[in-house]
Structure 1
């Protein structure tokens, strides 16, 4: 059994529904639980099964990621991958190509927070190189 399954599935932020709308941009199974979309701020708890990551992408507004359970990764283009564990916060600047998701052997959940949602656009790119991802430790 993969690590952190119970913590992710029983998060105080909720597990959510299958992320079917964005499945083509993820390498595995993920779930979304929208928490707030008011006052021009969007907060969503995103849960990832082991090995599930999203493709490279960028947003036109800053994105703050807060790991609420499990173990995962975030990487900005041109930088080293950064491991995330419960309590870690990572801020991605606007128009910065990046990816994030679970470790190979662990469940992962993070809050994704973006302000200025009336200006927010996401551009999706290619998948993360699987050999590179598999090399992360």
Structure 2
């Protein structure tokens, strides 16, 4: 059993080629043990921060632990989520996620690698996409 204590993970600032604004990453499981290919991280987005467009070859599970955020799959409307929500990002589909303009947001991201790769990064999310209206239920 490996226990990662709450105080243990070191936060790093999310790279500028992955995020717009300030995001902090705590790698929970950075190196999977073979045959597992699962990795996980806790990501905290400051207000206005969001990921670049990206996709995961086998999808991604996001467990929202704090705050309010927005997400969008390419070609679909932007939607809002909040603490307690769980999202399953579809495999191999471009998407983004992040905090709203006025709230921070933290999620735990879990994804599996395929052929050693768990994410492919693309361009930043435009302000027009980020500030687009939210899909109503």
DSSP 3-state at the match of 1:43: strand
Corresponding position of 1:47:
44
TM-score between the two structures when normalised by the length of structure 1: 0.79
Matches within 5 A, 1:6-85: 16-20=10-14, 22-36=15-29, 37-38=31-32, 39-85=36-82
TM-score between the two structures when normalised by the length of structure 2: 0.79
Corresponding position of 2:126:
129
Where in structure 2 are there 5+ consecutive unaligned residues? none
CA RMSD, Structure 1 to Structure 2 (Å): 2.2
Where in structure 1 are there 5+ consecutive unaligned residues? 1-11
> What is the aligned residue count?
125
Structure of greater Rg = 2
- Which structure carries more helix by proportion? 1
**More displaced stretch, 61-70 vs 35-44:** 35-44
